[in-house]
Structure 1
């Protein structure tokens, strides 16, 4: 099945540039890949929508492999994150129009939930590739923050005409710096006795929030740990 999916995606990409992730592009891919409509529907039950999601996940997988084979031992923490985001965009660079068409598809109300899951999945993939070990509420805040950074960077990248996407990498660095400044401010606030007192109740609730069990990667629901499960 993976080989069939890749064949169909590769066959669809030239058509997606003109027809978007549409039924027309899906049918053209079926013809060009020389598979039956039944085989194609078995691989992608919802047609072009599932194909677009598979294309996105394929990019995530390629990024993860690049991150894991890159020596980042000398990188600062923020540089590791920025580099992973950059690798994800470079993976997509050959098919920028397909990414643009995907953004259009998942902006539609009926596909918005799929788009949000794909975005979350990318943030999750980046943190997984970087070896994130958080299992508490930080698992969620890291991915939510990175989702915002990644989505804004993609939008900037789609309109970037600079040599080597230089302006995009500068934009990405500024977004990462913004996040780091916020984290520093939060860390400073946590040291305040008044803040610690005010957060006593909320922290008791937050301590119950746990990351979802894995696999599958990218699932949104978390695990709410009840007092009885701590015993």
Structure 2
């Protein structure tokens, strides 16, 4: 069994190391000081050191560390080169499904986290975290867009993921089957939209330019 010397970790590393145990404790204690203490004891970390990593045991700080730990685990399990042989749709589905599987045993902690993130004072930070996770997923999926598609793709995926989590925490079906079906429908809908948008843009490129036509009438080629 590998043991961690928490005293040698940076504060950022310590937050990530403790985050999974905090999430597990949040099932019973919420995202609270009690969850932080329980996580430290579970991990074998000095409680004072844990408190140093999370001053005041602020719920959003602990939730952000947890989300970061899921982001890191996802990137480690599904690097871009491993996903490269799949279609874009499957790459995105695989990444979201990994995230759902990673929290399948702590759905009550997810429910409590969503409630905290929905509070008005936390909404801007929650949106930023959702955007960051969506950005990581798109980068792992091989997205290289630098135009407006860069932003629209991330906004859409963040919306899909947050909606899927809302279904997830209330899903009592076997193996969260209803959640995965919901995810598939949302991804299929987005793929159809993107296909239709691409076709429309291509048609626009093929249409003759009225301005160019009028210009030629006024200034005929010599």
CA drift at 1:120: 0.9
CA drift at 1:68: 1.3
Aligned Cα root-mean-square deviation (Å): 2.8
CA distance in 1, matches of 2:20, 2:86: 35
What does 1:99-178 correspond to in 2, within 5 Å? 99-178=110-189
Alignment correspondent of 1:225: none
Unaligned runs of 5+ in 1: 198-231
Q: Secondary structure at the match of 1:161?
A: coil
What does 1:15-164 correspond to in 2, within 5 Å? 15-29=25-39, 33-37=44-48, 39-45=49-55, 47=57, 48-68=59-79, 71-164=82-175
- Confirm whether residue 192 of structure 1 aligns to residue 173 of structure 2: no
CA distance in 2, matches of 1:152, 1:18: 24
Alignment correspondent of 1:202: none
**Higher helix proportion (structure 1 or 2):** 2
CA drift at 1:73: 4.5
Computing the radius of gyration from Cα coordinates, the structure with the larger value is 2
The alignment covers a number of residue pairs equal to: 197
Q: Given the superposition, is the C-alpha separation of residues 115 and 72 from structure 1 closer, same or farther in structure 2, using an over 3 Å criterion?
A: same
TM, length-normalised to structure 2: 0.76
Q: Secondary structure at the match of 1:192?
A: helix
CA distance in 1, matches of 2:205, 2:80: 44
CA distance in 2, matches of 1:27, 1:5: 13
TM, length-normalised to structure 1: 0.73
